[in-house]
Every structure is written in structure tokens, then in C-alpha cells.
Amino acid sequence: MIPALAFVPPEKVIEAFEKLQETLPPEAIIDYFEDTYISRRRRHTRRQPPFPVSMWSMYTRVVEVLPQTNNALEGWHNHMQASVTSFHPNIRKFLGVLKREQALSSVIINQILAGHPVPPKQKRYQDSSKRIANIVQDFENRDVLEFLRYIAHNLKF
């Protein structure tokens, strides 16, 4: 349920982590997560962690219906790698690949501006995103541990 903390409203992450921590046996992963992403409580305060909640929280992205992964970027990178076909292309070949990519991007942009629909995500990803969005939107009406459990059931690694 630790990864599910990314879907808790940022201002409530520490409270949710503390409740989760009470229910789990002490493990090195809990300590690591606290040190790296939450920051340990020292007396009555917490210092800024190396990776603040604002950096890894997905709550706002889900609420605003923004992409939750960089899969589209990875797909583009794989496409570019396949287009180059060599590890060290000369400048002429590389510029040719960039020109073809620019032309393809212009076609896609013009199609979208002309009203063509954007290709949809795969159905399994659409379904998972909808379930997570429904749970996130109902955060205030759920017990924190129940919320984390339901989100965790919808995460796949």
C-alpha cells in the first residue's frame, strides 16, 4: 500500500503514512520510504525530505485528468531509436530523421486541429485510470487505510 500514498492529497500524505505505518510490521522499506519521501519526525517537526511530496504526488494529476506515466514519451523515444537505425549516425542522416519526425508531428497536429479524435489509450489502461480516479475523487468519504487498500488493488508494476 506504500505506492498508493502517491494518490493521497499532498497535504494529507504524512497523516496517511503514519496511519499506515501503525498497521505494518517494522521493515527496512518503511524506514527507507520515510527517510527518502516523508522525512523522519525529529522532536515535533520534520525536515524537508530529499524527494518532497510535491515531486511524486499523483493526486493532482488524477484530479486534473493528466497522464500519470511517461509511457507516451518512452514510445516516442523507441520510435526515434528505430528510425535512426545506427548508434552513431552522421549529421545528414540524423537531420533527415528529425525532418521526417517534424513532418509526422505536423500531420498529427493538423489532424487534431481538424477535429480528428486523439487515439485512445488501451482499454485496460482506461479502465484502471477510471477506477483510480473514482477512488481519488471519493477520498474524503473513505477511511485512509481503506483508500490505500483500494488504490493498491488497482496498481500494477
What is the C-alpha separation between 5 and 142, in angstroms, rounded?
14
Q: What is the pLDDT of residues 65-83, one digit of tens each?
A: 888 777 778 888 888 888 8
What is the C-alpha separation between 83 and 98, in angstroms, rounded?
9
Instruction: Report the predicted TM-score, pTM, of the whole model to 2 decimal places.
Output: 0.72
Mean pLDDT of 97-112: 92
Residue 120 has pLDDT above 90, yes or no: no
